[in-house]
Structure formats: structure tokens, C-alpha cells
Amino acid sequence: MGNICFRLANKGTIGKALPMTNRLAGKWVLITGASSGFGAETARQFAGLGVNLLLGARREDRLAEVADECSELGAVSANIHHLDVVNTQSVNAFADWARSVAGRVDVLVNNAGGAHGVDRVEDGKDSDWETMFQSNALGILRVARSILPLMKPYSGGVILNIGSIAGRVAYEGGSAYCASKAAELSITKALRLELNGTGLRVGSIDPGMAETEFSIVRLKGDKEKADAVYAGVEPLAAEDVAEAIVWAANRPPHVCIDEILMMCTAQAAPYKVSREA
């Protein structure tokens, strides 16, 4: 799972899968929202490259399970700590913990976030709106602010923020979610400019339709409605998105992957999906 391969078509290598250069072995990788979905799978794939992991999430029991899996998959160490990105005190405590455990961070994956509700603006709820902006936008700002002191002394590090196609294309019922993800993209671009010259890299990984717990959470636990989102479609899986994240992080220090926009083949836009009958 953690091995990344590519194929060469040169004489004598046709059809052979060759391992990609591993530039991350022994590095310190910090992932927020690592208890499930993209975050958990990204941790697993990084583990296969022999990194040290700093994993944060609210659900510590599930976080511990992910850490155990990562240890079995080859992580040098898999360290966990409670993290709620909507709470500044929690973020600062997490950063203090990371400093005490590692003293540095080479890769930061700002993954924590999500969608809540599909109401039109006229029916929207403050609690849903505030949760999305707090986690998807302000959470990234809080974590970046607290972790940057652990990254700036070490050239070659990378910050990867997890965005969405929703940050680029708005759709009905998604006003606040789309806006919060558009904010993520703007934060990423501003941070890229601010860190120019430091040797740190900043990028955004923006998936389209992906089957994780995303729709269950967004639809308030209604599994029937969540399943209908993916009916007749092979959506992206957590493994697909994690592979893109790990690939972007594993580029040589002089290469910055500014943005990756990825969707399943059946989806051409948030509102344009080809479904099998």
C-alpha cells in the first residue's frame, strides 16, 4: 500500500514497475484529521515510506488504531495526540506536543475539515456555517501558524492543504462549504507567496467526489441519502487521494506542486456526473 511505483518503457524495462525515489524516509510528517478518510489513508501510505508520524484528531480511540496500523506498515514511529482545529488552545497544545516529540516538522498535511448540511442559503443554519468555516478555513490558519516555527528552520519542507473542487465551482446547497473551500485555496496561495524564499513549499490537493465518511457527516448520518450520492458511479477512494498527497510531498526540494485538481472519470463537474443505470 505504501509503495509508489511508475513504469518505464525503455529497452529492458518494458512492463517493469520501478519504485519511485523515496525522499521522505526518516522525515517527520504531521497529519490533521488522521482518524479516518483521507487523513488515515495518507498516514498509512506515508508509513510505507518509513517516516515518523505525528497524527492529530478528535477521536483518539480511532487515532490509536490508525497509529497501530502505521507501525505495522513500516512507520519509524507513529505518535498521536488529541487535536481539535476549531479550538486555538487545542491547536497550540498540539504544536507544543509536536515540538516536544520531534522538534521539527518536514511535511504538514492540513486535512481536518468537512461539510455540514446541504441547505440553500435561505434555510441555512449558523451552526453548520460556523463549523465549516472554523474547520475548513480558520483551522488551516491556526495549524499553519502554530507549526511553521517547527518547519522554517529546515529548508525543503512542504505544506499540503486539502481542498475540494467545491472551492473552484459553486453549486446549489453548497454555499458555505464552497466558500470555506475557496478560502482554503486563497489561504494556500497567500501562504505560498509569504514563504517564497524560505525553501518551504505550499500546495493544495483538491478532490472531487470521493467516498469516505464525508457524505454521512454532511447528511447528518442518513446513510440512504449518502449512498445515493455515489449510486452508479465509481468515485475516488481515500487511497486515490492519499496517493496524490504522498506523491506531491515526495517531490525533490526544488519542485513545488502548487495545485492538484482530481476527480473520478465519471465526474466532469460537481453538477455533471455520468451514472450507470
Q: What is the pLDDT of residues 213-252, one digit of tens each?
A: 666 666 667 677 777 778 899 999 999 999 999 999 999 9
Q: Does a structural domain hold residue 230?
A: yes
Q: Does a structural domain hold residue 271?
A: no
Q: Does a structural domain hold residue 117?
A: yes
Indicate the pTM of the whole model: 0.89
Q: Does a structural domain hold residue 127?
A: yes
What pLDDT does residue 20 have?
Answer: 74
Q: Does a structural domain hold residue 111?
A: yes
Q: Beta partners for 77?
A: 52
Q: Does a structural domain hold residue 72?
A: yes
Q: Does a structural domain hold residue 270?
A: no
CATH code, domain carrying 93: 3.40.50.720
Give 129-170 pLDDT, tens digit per residue. 999 999 999 999 999 999 999 999 998 999 999 999 999 999
What are the distances in angstroms from CA 50 to CA 18, 80, 89, 169, 200? 18, 17, 31, 37, 21
CA quadruple 212, 163, 271, 276: dihedral sign: negative
The region of weakest confidence among 11-20, 42-51, 195-204 is 11-20
Question: Maximum Cα–Cα distance for the chain, whole Å?
Answer: 63
CA quadruple 169, 172, 176, 177: dihedral sign: negative
End-to-end CA separation in angstroms for the chain: 32
- Among residues 11, 42, 141, the alpha carbon closest in space to that of 85 is found at 141
Tell me the three state secondary structure of residue 32: strand
Total count of domains within the chain: 1
How far apart CA 218 and CA 84 sit, in angstroms, is 18
CA angle 202, 146, 250 (to 5 degrees): 30
User: Which has more pLDDT, 89 or 118?
Assistant: 89
Confidence of residue 60 (pLDDT cuts 50, 70, 90): very high
Residue-range definition of the domain harbouring residue 145: 23-265
How far apart CA 53 and CA 148 sit, in angstroms, is 17
Q: Beta partners for 82?
A: 57
Angle at which helices 126-133 and 175-194 pack, to 10 degrees? 20
Residue 16 has pLDDT above 70, yes or no: no
- Among residues 217, 211, 212, 209, the alpha carbon closest in space to that of 265 is found at 209
Give how far the C-alpha of residue 48 lies from the chain's centroid of Cα atoms, to the nearest Å: 17
Give catalytic residues, as residue numbers. 177, 181
Mean pLDDT, the chain, rounded, equals 90
User: Which has more pLDDT, 124 or 8?
Assistant: 124
